[in-house]
Chain A
Amino acid sequence: MNIQALLKTIEASPVAAALRGELPGTEWLFPIVETLHVMALTLVVGSIAMMDLRLLGVASRTSPVSRLSDEVLPWTWTAWCLAAVFGTLMFMSKAHSYAANLQFQLKFACMGLAALNMLVFHFGAFRQVERWDLEEPPQSAKVAGALSLLLWICVVFFGRWVGFTVTT
Chain B
Amino acid sequence: MFRPVADWLAATPLSKTLSDQLWVVPMSQSIHILAVSAVFASALMINLRLLGVGVSGRSISQLSQTLLPWMWRGLVVLLLTGIVQTLAEPVRQFVTPAFWAKMTLIIIVTAMTALFARAVRRNARLWDAGSSRPPQAKIFAVVSTLIWLAIIVCGRFIAYTWSMYA
Contacts and interface: CB of A to CB of B under 8 A. Distances in A.
Contact of A35 (B26, B44, B54, B157): B157
Given A71-B54, A71-B55, A46 B41 contact: yes
B122 interface: no
B157 A156 contact: no
A139 B55 CA distance: 27
Contacts of A60: 66
Given A35-B153, A156-B37, A43 B44 contact: yes
Contacts of B36: 38, 42
Chain A: interface size category: 20 to 34
A161 interface: yes
Q: Which applies to chain B's interface (DSSP): helix, strand, loop or mixed? A: helix
Contacts of B157: 31, 35
A62 B62 contact: yes
A46 B37 contact: yes
A46 B62 contact: no
A111 interface: no
Contacts of A153: 34
A160 B41 contact: no
A70 B33 CA distance: 26
B30 A160 contact: yes
For A43, A44, A45, A160, the residue with the greatest tally of chain B CB atoms inside 10 Å of its CB is A160
B106 to A, nearest CB: 15
Given A74-B54, A160-B30, A42 B156 contact: no
A49 interface: yes
A75 B54 contact: yes
A19 interface: no
A28 B161 CA distance: 11
B66 A49 contact: no
8 smallest CB-CB distances across A and B, nearest first, come from A46-B41, A46-B37, A45-B37, A42-B37, A160-B30, A35-B156, A31-B160, A157-B30
